């Protein structure tokens, strides 16, 4: 009788856990929402706040990209910094563009939330793009660092594992695509409707 928890081992650093409740009594004043409707309430909260995940992804991606920029300026290959090679420049540019695009998607979803509007569609777009962006940026950062990026001496391998989770939790990429396409196909959202 009561509750127990068990740690879930993951490839990431943080520690999720399973919670088990058995015969736990909850006073009426502590019930959130309607009795036996907790799943629906939880899904509403998750959907409305999905834009917060890509907001975090922006921070991780920016930190990693700055690390790659600094490294590219000081790493010498064939007599010059690797920052002078077009391949490196393009990886840096593509990463920056993806980060900025995600930032605007997040700001749009946050604006909707701040103005009491439905954020679910915009949040799904931001989450899908932000999760993909973070994975692309970290992959490029690892590539720029070469073999050093693959070692545990740098935080890149940890970030690589961390950002992979963005594509799974609070709705997988596939779920976001389903939500976005369903809204468009059913006419809940029209193309070009920015607000």
Among 16-30, 138-152, 160-174, the minimum mean pLDDT is found in: 16-30
Note whether 57 and 30 are same-domain residues: no
Q: Give 16's contacts (C-beta < 8 A, 6+ positions apart).
A: 7, 8, 10
pLDDT band, very low/low/confident/very high, at 1 (cuts 50, 70, 90): low
Which residue segment(s) compose the domain that 21 sits in?
A: 2-41
Is 157 an annotated catalytic residue? Answer: no
Catalytic entry in 114, 170, 174, 193? 170
The pLDDT tens digits for 183-194 are 999 999 988 876
The pLDDT tens digits for 51-64 are 888 999 999 999 99
Note whether 7 and 65 are same-domain residues: no
Whether 160 contacts 145, CB under 8 Å: no
Among 28-32, 126-130, 149-153, 163-167, the minimum mean pLDDT is found in: 28-32
Compute the chain's Rg from CA coordinates: 21
pTM comes to 0.85
Number of domains in the chain: 2
Domain assignment present for 65:
yes
The pLDDT tens digits for 65-91 are 999 999 999 999 999 999 999 999 999
DSSP string, 34-45: STT-HHHHHHHH
């Amino acid at each position: 009788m009561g509750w127990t928890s068990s740690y879930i081992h993951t490839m990431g650093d943080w520690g999720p856990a399973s919670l088990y409740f058995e015969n736990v009594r909850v006073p009426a004043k502590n019930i959130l929402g309607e009795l036996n409707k907790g799943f629906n309430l939880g899904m509403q909260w998750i959907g409305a706040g999905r834009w917060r995940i890509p907001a975090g992804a922006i921070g991780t991606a920016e930190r990693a990209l700055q690390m790659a920029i600094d490294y590219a300026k000081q790493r010498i290959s064939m007599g010059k910094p690797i920052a002078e090679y077009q391949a490196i420049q393009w990886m840096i540019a593509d990463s920056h563009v993806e980060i900025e695009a995600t930032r605007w998607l997040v700001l749009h979803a946050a604006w909707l939330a701040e103005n009491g509007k439905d954020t679910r569609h915009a949040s799904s777009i931001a989450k899908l793009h932000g999760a993909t962006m973070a994975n692309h940026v970290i992959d490029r950062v690892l590539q720029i660092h070469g073999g050093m990026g693959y070692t545990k001496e740098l935080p890149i391998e940890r970030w690589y594992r961390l950002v992979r989770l963005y594509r799974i939790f609070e709705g997988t990429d596939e779920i976001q695509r389903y939500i976005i396409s369903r809204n468009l196909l059913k006419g809940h959202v029209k193309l070009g409707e920015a607000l």
